[in-house]
Amino acid sequence: MKFPIYLDYSATTPVDPRVAEKMCACLTPDGVFGNPASRSHAFGWAAEQLVDEARANVAALVGADPKEIVWTSGATESDNLAIKGAAHFYQKQGKHIITLKTEHKAVLDTCRQLEREGFEVTYLDVQSNGLVDLAVFEEAIRPDTILASVMHVNNEIGVIQDIAAIGSICRERKVIFHVDAAQSPGKVDIDLAELPVDLMSFSAHKIYGPKGIGALYVQRKPRVRIEAQMHGGGHERGMRSGTLATHQIVGMGEAFRIAREEMAAENVRILALRNRLYDGLKDMEEVYVNGDLAHRISGNLNISFNFVEGESLMMALKDMAVSSGSACTSASLEPSYVLRALGREDELAHSSLRFTLGRFTTEEEIDHVLSQVRSQVERLRDLSPLWDMYKEGIDLKSVQWAAH
């Protein structure tokens, strides 16, 4: 076993060696290093061909037409381009946008920026399982609503929103529907030919591709318009200028191609490992899963160990790389806004760990993680005055805490 054990696949994934190999062939003088926009010579043509193949591979995994794929630098840029681009283009029809409180910051902060520009944004609560209530969503739509942005899979708790149902509501009410799908390709089936989705953001580095490359799906039929945010040579049909990074694009294409071939078997394997992890923890006292366990990608387990603070637990778990919703892991000293949006008490947010499993996770690793987590939670509970109080039967909510 190699230490530390990587269990943070939702933060990023290693590049699959098969992907890296293809990328390396696009850099050096002997490789396909040409500018795909060079129409006058073979170097450009060769690069253009690889970009086209990659575009087809990305489109194939998500059921899109290759012409609907716009390359970007990553899901953050895709979110910015989709939301600002659509809001700016359609602003004459209204200035109201709907999104969720549990969205990624790339969506939330983009919406904040639009608020500064005079748009109005409704940030919807989710239910305690992390999913948005469809009736609540529909009620939020107003005559001046032009755009809704809902993530497919949540990065912290892994829950899968019903984008088909949300999209249908948007279609009916003539609202442009954007989906941040940074976390879902290769984990959840996506068929944009059927899904009522107008814009969808993708990332490569969450699916064993390289960092620094992503894509935005922009539906053609019916055609969705966005205003460019990056101006220059008119690349990507004017929607996103900038020389295409052939090696990055080839990496994303290969990552999506592999995912299409292997995702069915891979998700079964990962789910079995996730269940092994959860089954090994669920008999512990005061352990809570955050978010719906059924409507969740196979590789995510977000779990709170009450009366133990997440950062100190991560410090104890030095054999493994996980993340926490604890305040102490963030510069802001605020606990996870996603866990708070579920209505979780702050102390449970402070006590949370996110395990995200992936392609290279093994059963042996999970078994090691299990024994470490169990013993370290026990050790830290022995150190915890809150655990003592809980064991004495004191209701912690009845205590007058000196907040600081």
Partner 1 sequence: MAYSEKVIDHYENPRNVGVLDKDSIQVGTGMVGAPACGDVMRLQIQVNDQGVIEDAKFKTYGCGSAIASSSLLTEWVKGKTLDEARQIKNIEIAEELALPPVKVHCSVLAEDAIKAAIDDLQSKRQTDSSQPASSAA
DSSP string, 378-397: HHHHHT-HHHHHHHTT--GG
CB atoms within 10 A of CB 233: 10
In whole angstroms, give the CA distance from residue 82 to residue 179: 9
Decide if 201 contacts 181 (C-beta within 8 A): yes
Nearer to partner 1, 145 or 384 (CB): 384
Interface size with partner 1, residues (CB under 8 A):
29
Among 136, 164, 268, 383, binds partner 1 (CB under 8 A): 383
CB of 181 to partner 1, least distance (A): 31
| 11 scored as a contact of partner 1 (CB under 8 A) | no
Q: Of residues 283-342, which lie at the interface with partner 1 (CB under 8 A)? A: 307-309, 311-312, 315-316, 326-328, 331, 333, 335
The widest CA-to-CA distance across the chain, in whole angstroms, is 79
Nearer to partner 1, 56 or 316 (CB): 316
Q: Is residue 116 packed enough to be buried (19+ CB in 10 Å), middle (13-18) or exposed (0-12)?
A: exposed
Nearer to partner 1, 84 or 344 (CB): 344
Nearer to partner 1, 279 or 285 (CB): 285
Nearer to partner 1, 164 or 396 (CB): 396
Decide if 329 contacts 314 (C-beta within 8 A): yes
| 385 scored as a contact of partner 1 (CB under 8 A) | yes
In whole angstroms, give the CA distance from residue 342 to residue 7: 23
Q: Of residues 169-198, which lie at the interface with partner 1 (CB under 8 A)? A: none
CB atoms within 10 A of CB 174: 11
Stretch of residues binding partner 1 (CB under 8 A), selected from 18-26, 180-188, 243-251, 343-351: 343-351
| 354 scored as a contact of partner 1 (CB under 8 A) | no
The yes-or-no answer on residue 24 being catalytic is no
Phi-psi region of 277 (alpha: psi -120 to 50; beta: other; left: phi over 0): alpha
Binding site for partner 1 (CB under 8 A): 307-309, 311-312, 315-316, 326-328, 331, 333, 335, 345-347, 350, 382-388, 396, 401-404
Residues annotated as part of the active site = 328
